[in-house]
Amino acid sequence: MKILVFGKTGQVAHELARRCPGNVDAVFLGRDEVDLSTPDNAAQAISHARVDAVINAAAWTSVDKAEAEEAAATVVNGDAPGAMARACADKSIPFLHISTDYVFDGAGSEPFVPEHATLPLGAYGRSKLAGEKAVQASDAHHLILRTSWVVSPHGANFIKTMLRLGHERDSLRVVADQFGGPTPAASIADALYTAARIMLDGHVGGTHHFAGAPDTSWANFAREIMVGASLPCQIEDIPTSAFPTPAKRPMNSRLDCSSFNEVFGVARPEWRAGLRDILNELGEIK
């Protein structure tokens, strides 16, 4: 199986490269090779490639910056995936696309099912929802995989921020009223490879959720990080209102992942195990 992957340096793309199965030939295209701010370039790359499937692991991920640059974010997160999906439809090959919990409004306390009405709170969520709609309208054999709270040993993410601050400070104030499932990028990569293989063998696809278990708060996640790294830094619970940001965050990012397990046989990853692996790789476990 040969797969074309958009993305090279992001958390999921990095893990897709590291965890590529032996029977898969994956080709990775970074921003220097295909700039998604010009969606036609992405479509041309697919048209010229001799591959069995395409994974889009590239995106505009700066949530706060998107508030000031929504048009640019929408080109990358909305127009480019649509162009990719249409190119895949033309070649009759599967297209796998990563989306986000930010397409929901974060209301309530129940996990969101894939069929739940979407209502983004900000520009980033709107740009990602635009991508979902473009992929769904493309006639491509597609998978839209919504995930949340992605973490890994690479790039910028919550674990690495907490470790940096935990080494510098005796205490940290962390939001305790936002809930979701931390998701190791390694688990997302494995799930995508599994899904790609199954999609090549049949016609399953659609929109599904994949997030780490169990659901927790940012503050409790921070505590687990400090304990895992044997750092004495104490975590103080604060409300979201005490930590304002340009973009409004969903209070409830819980995702119902049962349909992905039913269709592709991939259960929610246990994020504590993923956290141990990440801390070990970062040299935080002595």
- Cβ-proximal residues to 179 (8 Å cutoff; 6+ apart), any chain: 109, 215, 216, 217, 251, 252, 253, 254
Q: How far apart are the first and last CA of the chain?
A: 39
Give the integer Cα–Cα distance in Å for 180 and 63: 17
Mean pLDDT value of segment 260-267:
97
Question: Across residues 90-99, what is the average pLDDT?
Answer: 98
Give catalytic status of residue 124 as yes or no: yes
Q: pTM for this one?
A: 0.97
Q: What are phi and psi of 27, to 5 degrees?
A: -110, 125
Task: Please report the pLDDT score of residue 127 as a whole number.
Answer: 98
Listed by start position, the domains of the chain span 2-156+182-211
- The residue annotated as part of the active site, out of 102, 112, 124, 218, is 124
- Looking at domain 2-156+182-211, what is its CATH homologous superfamily? NAD(P)-binding Rossmann-like Domain (3.40.50.720)
Average pLDDT in the chain: 97
Beta strands in the chain (DSSP E): 2-6, 25-29, 53-56, 95-100, 142-147, 150-151, 171-175, 179-180, 183-184, 206-209, 216-217, 234-238, 252-253
* pLDDT given at position 202: 84
Token pair belonging to 62: 């700066």
Give residue-wise pLDDT tens across range 23-57: 999 999 999 999 999 999 999 999 999 999 999 99
Return the pLDDT at 203.
81
Q: Tens of pLDDT along 195-253? A: 999 999 988 999 999 999 999 999 999 999 999 999 999 999 999 999 999 999 999 99
- pLDDT higher than 80, residue 158: yes
Q: With beta carbons less than 8 A apart as the criterion, state whether 146 and 101 touch.
A: yes
